[in-house]
Structure 1
Amino acid sequence: MRGGTPSTDDFGQRLRVLRARAALSQEALAHAAGVSVRALADMERGRTRGPQRRTVRALADALGLDADEAAGLEESAALGRPRPRTAEGPAVPVALALPRDIQDFTARDAVLARLQDLAGDTGPDRPVVAVVAGQPGLGKTAFAVHAAHRLAPHFPDGQFALDLHGMDAEPTGPRDALARLLGAVGVADGAIPAGTDDRAGLWRSLAAERRLLLLLDNAADEAQIGPLLPGTGASLTIVTSRQALAGLTSVHRCDLALLRREEAVEMLTRIVGPERVRAEEQAARDLADLCGHLPLAVRIAGQRLLSRPHERLGKLVDRLAAEGRRLDGLQAGNLRVRAAFALSYRQLPTQARTFLRRAALAAGADFSPETGALLAGLTLDEAVARAEELTDAGLLQSDPAVERYRFHDLLRLYAAEQVEAEDGPEVRDAALDRTARWMLRRAAAAALHFDADHDHTAPSGDPDPDGAPAGREAARAWLEAERTQWLAALRRAHDTGRHRQVLDTAEAMHWFSDLNQHWEQWVEVFQRSSDSARALGSRREEAVHLNYLAWAYNLCVHDPRAALVSADAALDAARDSEDGLQQGWALGYGAGALQRLGRLSEAETRLRDAAGCLAGQGAPQARLAELSTLNALGILLRQTGRAAEALDIHRRGERICRAGVPGRAAELIAFYHAVHRQQIGNDLAALGRWQEAEPPLRQALDVFDAAQMPSWAEQARLDLGQVLGAMGHPEARETLLAARDALAALRSPRQAEAATALAELGQTATDG
């Protein structure tokens, strides 16, 4: 033998000499061989006398041994391994051997590394328990089996896997599970105690003397698991369950997330081969998305394609694209996504099943317990309890910050199928109608917090006054959080002919919409409300809501052509109903659309007609409309090079604000005053009077910021930034940067103007 390889039969001593000869530290050899430093140290100290063959081969390769030396190392390891028992004693247990590992296992590197660290941290007084829980289809068992094979070299005294059948009608009881574990470590049938407690005590005693890896798969609950866990000894127990097993103490949690898209594509590639994926890369990405990045679904899609080598990936994508056929398409042999979900669904109590399937009717990506309660016909407390129960069962995902819940996309499809199968259309429609009525009443009551014309001392009309949002901030938060839900309720009310509720809700939203001009859905809200007014035969209300629609087209989606059509229709309806106020608004909104289309002369004519129409009316609403019209007229004049005329118009509006409007709150008039102050600042800037322009712009910005009106505030911030830039003010860059980023987030067309102003500011600094 070269270099004086030791002839000793002691594996640890032989390994230590070989490592010293190779001039490797324990850390270097452990890294090269893929074992932990702790495991290597245990081998060299003799605590681990007979590591498995794969570990010995990895060590031999890392040490650079020739064939004879590697064989000698393996021979010394074999001497330290447990011998098969003779006929006088029990046979070597094989019934609980680890299942076959999956060769195309993908991802999960971070969680595997965590388990590797835990395996290295076991000791006589530190048995480690890791819980792998989560929703159906995450690949919990596949992960646990793969991890067990990876970690097997750390546990030379045995690796056992026991399926506890937690999802069966009758899961394996602790008493029977303990009998199987005791048999696995060599206890004869006749020596196994009769009682569960005695079996658990004997199991803990025997496990304390061994380095064991125990995989307890598919656990039902804590009561089933508790008696099986070693109390002492250098063991690692991996528990998988669809339940959270939150009652287990002193355990490590291994959270398996959905795969990232690239990981899902990698799994697909490992199953079907890189050639097929390279040939249809976009189809592979689409397939991963349609599988919801759920490992089980991706595996089923891959196995299906593998069994059909000539079938294109795009064909399966087309099949799965139809939601009604997706679960049918996700099956290959005995692998079925629907079956995995059904297994969990059937285990649920009746009320939890009802909550789960009805919650699938909620609109949007997530839902509140209130929505779930309405759909399921439960009290709020019952709904919260069922949602938490379903979260623990891995069937819902809870939001980390607020009390909201979401489905995995495929599980939502399954739950919706159960609505059709178990409830039927009549019950489903009743649940949707009940929820829509409640949602619209709550939405209207919340929106009225922002309505300047509303008597806030009157009853709110909220369906649950005790649980209603208290104050504007709480109302805003509710309206934003439930935006998708109340919009779906509005659609249902419209489509089922409840036109009065549609109109009342949209009317209540009118002032609130001004605070959120960046919400594109205002177009749909006011399309439906104007259609409902038409269905009710109310030309005056049709004019009102067509004007709201013109506003939404102009300012929310920046579509002036559609805005002009709506404004012209509103003008016709207002004339038919002899409503001068709505005529003024229609002329103004039409002028705004014409201005955006570059038809400036026509726009000016309409604005002057609108101002004249409104000035002759005495109602407070007409004064507010006149202020809006004067503001728009002044902007048009400034943009056509008549800044001095614009300044006169805006100061005229300011005089109206200072005089006040009878019957209107001072805070509301302060907002209109701020609008005119902003434009006065812009007029002065257009005249080159920069020093005079700064104060009114700052005053306007302060008002909009205080009112939390981002659509208004960020445009004022841009105007101020441009003035500061012209003055060479040190705040200019910071102000313009903030405006640019916020306007981009709001999808405002003025974001380009902000970017240009920043570029010009940088050029000016360079030139300077």
Structure 2
Amino acid sequence: MRDGTPSTEDFGQRLRGLRARAGLSQEALSHAAGVSVRALADMERGRTRGPQRRTVQALAGALGLDDDEAADLEGAAAVGRPRPGAAGGPAAPGTLALPRDIADFTARGPALARLLDLARDADRGGPVVTLVTGQPGLGKTAFAVHAAHRLAPHFPDGQFALDLHGMDPEPVTPRDALARLLGAVGIPDAAVPAGTEDRAGLWRSLAGQRRLLLLLDNAADESQISPLLPGTGPSLTIVTSRQSLAGLESVHRCDLALLRREEAVELLSRIIGPERVAAEAQAARDLSDLCGHLPLAVRIAGQRLVSRPHERLGKLVARLTAEGRRLDGLQAGSLRVRAAFALSYRQLRPESRTFLRRASLAAGPDFSPETGALLAGLSYDEAVACAEELTDAGLLQSDPATERYRFHDLLRLYAAEQVTAEDGPGVRDAALDRTAHWMLRRATAAALHFDVHHDGATPYGDPDPEGAPAGQDEARAWLEAEQAQWLAALRRAHDTGRHRQVLDTAEAMHWFSDRNQHWEQWVEVFRRSADSARALGSRREEAVHLNCLAWAYNLCVHDPRAALTSADAALVAARECGDGLQEGWALGYSAGALHRLGRTREAQERLHEAARRLAEQDTPQSRLAELTVLNSLGSLLRQAGRPAEALDIHRRSERICRAGIPGRTEELIALYHAVARQQIGNDLAALGRWHEAEPPLRQALAAFEEAQMPAWAEAARLDLGQVLTATGHREARQTLLAARDALTALRSPRQAEAAVALASLDQTTADT
């Protein structure tokens, strides 16, 4: 106080002293008062001399000031506020100068080039507006400031930057922003009109006559921006916002993306020096990955390392690897990733805050509104509205083709923290249980579309029949898209003791799994279901699911030792409960494992025993199992150098298929027939009857493709390609190439066989 009147220089000092007395950091006061850290820092440094009354009241409340102290602080702020009509005006020309550029600015080349093109458009006489948007931490302001400095020579009549404080409780009003812009171009306070529309009209008339560069940073919404945009003249306006501002018309949009890995490493190198990065190149790459290639996070990590010149990058990598400590580690002084996210989070409606934090509980890289609705306890329509709001706010990323959403890794960690802080373990567990129960009911109903034993007229038990997948195509699409969700639901059901639901779901998956045997997840599905059967004391179901587990080990992850262990355990359980069908399956699966382990004689013995055991039974299920065992036995005999015997056995399989199996559909029998035809084609090839081998292999391939069974189809394609090679067919190379690429993508052991066949064909062609 001087002469009883607070000076404008006193406000920042006074606020800083009161904060120190209260023992609060800038971030703590920011959180308590709902004022951004940046705005608070500007006040304390004297850059903002007259904050609005509501802001001062919020600060006084957070600082715990009594009435006299609050009045004193308000008086200090009042002196710094512009007074309409006062001499000298609210701002002298040039007071909205561009902020300092960042010397270590990295990447964004294409976006900068686009802005240079826009500047040339402005040179041709039309005002240009570009909108820079994206999630928190992408460096929108840094990019805009850097671009403005690069473009400044194009706009000799002035370059102005105005922070609109869009994330503050009280963003700058259009009226106040226009006053500052008018002052910046030299209009005295006395000449500034009182009304917003009049100020906007004056601003547009002045801007239309000048070559201006205008940076409007941190915009809140369209209504704040629209009155500030020049209507005519060779100006360029750059607007930054965390919101999408979809309502702004005739603007060029620049949606900044995450840095590429190499760009993130380059930014780190520019901050801490290339020598430190070169000395720990892998740690630098790992650090960039842990930062999610988010510019703010990379900068914070770099600034932290700069302040500790002797600390190794690997030490920070080790700290950030622990997810629970990652956001704690990403802070350097007043720069904090968590604070950047918190600003956006506090701006959301309560429903959207709930949706965001609960969505962090979803499994997998992305999630549907359906999953978000279940976790948040909202209706589907409410969830879609929340997801779209969060996408517009840059807090979620939407899939370009489907209605699915994903988090940035660091944002997911922040949202998960809010679950702990705001919901607690009880609410969290209830949300996960509710979602898991619904997901397993839907997954079970969807999988039953593929079950040949299920009566299609029987209701599938979907939790939402009106929205349930209709038919196999829709069911497959849902099961594939929600694979991570229903698998997580199965884990939770198992871990919380809901063993009957685990068994029902895994049982329903049996036939669907056959069509997707390249999924490694089947090992976990059937391991958990076998464990659930054991927990319920059902030896028959234990045998069933141990057999399924043996199948998964054999064909999905190619682990014959584990397959043999599971099949032998299934055999014991089946014999104990007198289930001949499961006994036959166990013998067949163990034979497959023994063959892969090179124990061919034992494998043949078990297949012969399985065939005998299954032939003794007179059920549709035993006939299907017998077909599988016969096809496997024939294949084994062919590989043992006995192709004629193999052909006889596979012809027997074909006769069973042609005779039909009561109660089984033609579509199902067609698949078994396709397997027999594939084996017959290979038998004929082994006998050197190449031209006879081609037709059955083509028929098998067509059947597997029609049934959308890629693992089966590509194996048949490889067999066909080898036969075509032997006959000199012109399609041979194309067929082998397609098989090799597809088998590689499926992680099939036969990819090596395909590569060898293709290389051999190419060598033969080159030699001739």
* Gap change, CA 1:349 and 1:551, over 3 Å in 2: same
CA–CA separation in structure 2 for the residues paired with 1:474 and 1:263: 41
Using the TM superposition, name which of 89-98 and 728-737 deviates more: 89-98
Question: Is 1:330 aligned to 2:330, yes or no?
Answer: yes
Aligned to 1:234: 234
Name the amino acid aligned to 2:418: Q
In the other structure, the counterpart of 2:162 is: 162
Separation (CA, whole Å) in 2 of partners of 1:300 and 1:766: 57
Q: Residue in 1 aligned with 2:138? A: 138
Aligned twin of 1:730: 730
- Whether the 8 Å contact between 1:131 and 1:252 is mirrored in structure 2 is yes
| Counterpart code for 1:271 | I
Instruction: Please say which of residues 699-708 and 351-360 is displaced more in the overlay.
Output: 699-708
Corresponding residue for residue 741 of structure 1: 741
Q: Indicate conservation of the 8 Å contact 1:124/1:233, yes or no.
A: no
Task: Quote the Cα distance in structure 1 between the aligned partners of 2:568 and 2:625.
Answer: 17
Deviations 1:34-82 (A, max 9, x none): xxxxxxxxxxxxxxxxxxxxxxxxxxxxxxxxxxxxxxxxxxxxxxxxx
Distance in 2 (alpha carbons) for counterparts of 1:95 and 1:241: 22
Superposed, 1:440-589 pairs within 5 Å as 440-589=440-589
After superposition, give the CA deviation of every residue in 1:622-653 in whole Å (9 maximum; x if it has no partner). 00000000000000000000111101111111
Report the secondary structure of 2:520's partner residue.
coil
Once residues 91 and 685 of structure 1 are traced to their aligned partners in structure 2, the CA distance between those partners, rounded to angstroms, is 90
Corresponding position: 1:371 with 2:371: yes
- Residue 78 of structure 1 aligns with which residue? none
Residues 316-354 of structure 1: CA deviation (Å, up to 9, x unaligned): 000000000000000000000000000000010100000
What residue number does 2:25 align with? Answer: none
- Whichever residue aligns with residue 341 of structure 2, its letter is F
Residue pairs, 1:59-98, within 5 angstroms: 93-98=93-98
AA at the equivalent of 1:727: T
Q: Which contiguous aligned blocks of 4+ residues in structure 1 show a shift greater than 6 angstroms?
A: 87-91
**Cα distance between partner residues in 2 of 1:383 and 1:90:** 45
Counterpart position of 2:193: 193
Residue equivalent to 1:720? 720
For the Cα contact (< 8 Å) 1:124–1:208, is it kept in 2?
A: no
Q: SS at 1:613's partner residue?
A: helix
CA distance in 2: counterparts of 1:575 and 1:387, whole angstroms: 54
Once the two structures are TM-superposed, the CA of residue 296 in structure 1 deviates from its matched residue by 0.3
Change (3 A) 1:568 1:347: same
* Compared CA separation, residues 91 and 689, structure 1 to 2 (3 A): closer
Gaps of 5+ in 2: 1-86
Structure 1's 90 and 134: CA in aligned 2 closer, same or farther, altered over 3 A? closer
* Preserved contact between residue 90 and residue 186 of structure 1 (Cα < 8 Å): no
Q: Is the 8 A contact 1:637 1:645 kept in 2?
A: yes
Whether the 8 Å CA contact 1:571–1:586 is kept in 2: the answer is: yes
Displacement, 1:409? 0.2
Q: What is the CA–CA distance in structure 1 between the aligned matches of 2:110 and 2:89, rounded to whole Å?
A: 43
Paired residue type of 1:503: L
**Match of residue 393 from structure 2:** 393
1:447/1:475 contact within 8 Å kept:
yes
Quote the Cα distance in structure 1 between the aligned partners of 2:758 and 2:445.
43
Shift of 1:734: 1.0
Q: TM-score, normalised by structure 1?
A: 0.88
2:218 match: secondary structure: strand
Moved more, 90-99 or 755-764: 90-99
Aligned residue for 2:122, secondary structure, equals coil
- CA offsets 1:72-122 (integer angstroms, 9 cap, x no match): xxxxxxxxxxxxxxx999995132111000000000011001001101111
User: Does the 8 Å CA contact 1:644/1:687 hold for their aligned counterparts?
Assistant: yes
* CA displacement at 1:763 relative to structure 2: 2.7
SS at match of 1:308: coil
1:9-20 matches, within 5 Å, as: none
d(CA) in 2 for partners of 1:697 and 1:187? Answer: 85
Residue type of the alignment partner of 2:676: H
For residues 632-691 of structure 1, give each alpha carbon's deviation from its aligned partner in whole angstroms, at most 9, with x where no partner exists.
Answer: 000000000011110111111111111111111111111111111110111111011111
For the residue of structure 2 that corresponds to 1:366, the secondary structure is coil
Change in Cα spacing, 1:176 to 1:733, as seen in structure 2 (3 Å) is same
- In structure 2, the partner of 1:62 is none
Q: Considering only aligned residues, what root-mean-square deviation do their CA atoms show, in Å?
A: 1.2
Does the CA-based 8 Å contact 2:560-2:593 persist in structure 1? yes
Matches of 2:683 and 2:555 in 1, distance apart? 22
Q: Output the CA distance in 2 between the equivalents of 1:91 and 1:426.
A: 55
Partner of 2:751: 751
Alignment partner of 1:410: what SS?
helix
Report the Cα distance in structure 1 between the residues aligned to 2:167 and 2:455, rounded to whole angstroms.
Answer: 57
- 1:696 and 2:696 are equivalent in the alignment: yes
The alpha carbon displacement at 1:125 in A equals 4.8
* Contact 2:358–2:416 (Cα < 8 Å) also in 1: yes
Amino acid of the structure 1 residue aligned with 2:603: A
Deviation at residue 767 of structure 1 after TM alignment: 3.8
1:217 aligns to what?
Answer: 217
Matched, 1:594 2:587: no
Q: Which amino acid aligns with 1:520?
A: E
Q: Which amino acid aligns with 2:454?
A: H
> Which of 324-333 and 94-103 deviates more?
94-103
What is the CA distance between 1:759 and its match in structure 2? Answer: 1.7
User: What is the DSSP-based 3-state SS (H/G/I as helix, E as strand, rest coil) of the residue aligned with 2:162?
Assistant: strand
Aligned partner letter, 2:185:
V
> 2: CA distance between counterparts of 1:696 and 1:162?
74
CA change 1:89–1:708 in 2 (3 A) is closer
Task: Determine the structure 2 residue equivalent to 1:12.
Answer: none
Q: More displaced, 648-657 or 528-537?
A: 648-657
- Residue 666 of structure 1 aligns to which amino acid in structure 2? E
**Residue 709 of structure 1: aligned partner:** 709
Residue of structure 2 in register with 1:617 after alignment: 617
Distance across 2 between alignment mates of 1:602 and 1:91: 93
SS of the residue corresponding to residue 122 of structure 1 reads helix
Query: What residue identity is the alignment partner of 2:568?
Result: D
CA contact (8 A) 2:88 2:188 kept: no
Q: Distance in 1 between matches of 2:192 and 2:599?
A: 95
Any unmatched runs of 5+ in structure 1?
1-86
The question of whether the paired residues in 2 share the 8 Å contact of 1:244 and 1:392 is answered with yes
- SS of 1:462's partner is coil
Letter of the structure 2 residue corresponding to residue 122 of structure 1: A
Residue 694 of structure 1: CA displacement? Answer: 1.0
Q: Is the 8 A contact 2:494 2:532 kept in 1?
A: yes
1:735, 1:332 → 2: CA distance?
Answer: 57
CA distance in 1, matches of 2:580, 2:117: 77
User: In the aligned structure 1, how far is the partner of 2:91 from the partner of 2:641?
Assistant: 100
Corresponding position of 2:246: 246
Helix, strand or coil at the partner of 2:255? coil
The alpha carbon displacement at 1:389 in A equals: 0.4
Q: CA deviation at 1:766?
A: 3.4
Structure 1: distance between partners of 2:759 and 2:556: 27
1:642 aligns with 2:642: yes
Cα 1:758/1:88, change in 2 over 3 Å: closer
2-side partners of 1:173 and 1:574: how far apart?
Answer: 77
Residue of structure 1 in register with 2:261 after alignment: 261
Letter of the structure 2 residue corresponding to residue 618 of structure 1: D
CA distance in structure 2 between the partners assigned to 1:741 and 1:640 by the alignment: 28
CA contact (8 A) 2:89 2:189 kept: no
Whole-Å Cα distance in 2 between the matches of residues 92 and 663 of structure 1?
90
Q: Is the 8 A contact 2:90 2:179 kept in 1?
A: no
Whole-angstrom distance in 2 between the partners of 1:164 and 1:332: 25
Whichever residue aligns with residue 642 of structure 1, its letter is R
Partner secondary structure for residue 240 of structure 1: strand
Classify 1:230/1:766 alpha carbon distance in 2 versus 1 (closer, same or farther; 3 Å): closer
